[in-house]
Amino acid sequence: MNVYYYSVYLKTLKKNFMLVIMATVLLIPTFFIWAGIPLFIIGGLIENLTNNALLVHLCISLSGGLLFSLPFMPINFKAEKKYSQYNRAWCSKVFHVCTNNIHISLFSNF
């Protein structure tokens, strides 16, 4: 990561401040989803499979982080799109397409 990526990210946050407000507001009513599912459901499933407490805590932390970051995905997509336009890096474009497809496939099941 270089300094330009951080400046692009800050410009994206300043320009699309409504996305930040929407993501922050969404975190409050969805607290039991991004905190309850990893703690009770995923933690219980992993605990039934193994006795390793470290593995249980690792799975809870990773799944909680994933669910916590979902409301911020549009902000990350906009910043990555601007960065890939500036950098013209093939890796950034592939990352944007892959994460966009993952985001769509996560919500297409509902």
- Hey, what's the torsion of the CAs at 78, 79, 81, 82, to 10 degrees? 120
Low-confidence winner among 9-13, 32-36, 78-82 (lowest mean pLDDT): 78-82
Task: Look at the chain and report how many structural domains it folds into.
Answer: 1
Distance CA 102, CA 80 (A): 15
Structural domain range at position 83 = 3-107
Q: CB–CB of 52/60 below 8 Å?
A: no
**Crossing angle of helices 73-87 and 3-15, rounded to 10°:** 130
Half-sphere exposure of 64 (CA within 13 A, CB side): 15
Of the pLDDT bands very low, low, confident and very high (cuts 50, 70, 90), residue 107 is: very low
Q: pLDDT digits over 35-85, tens only?
A: 888 889 999 999 999 989 999 999 998 888 888 888 888 888 888 777 777
Residue 20 in this model has a pLDDT that exceeds 50: yes
What pLDDT score was predicted for residue 108?
A: 43
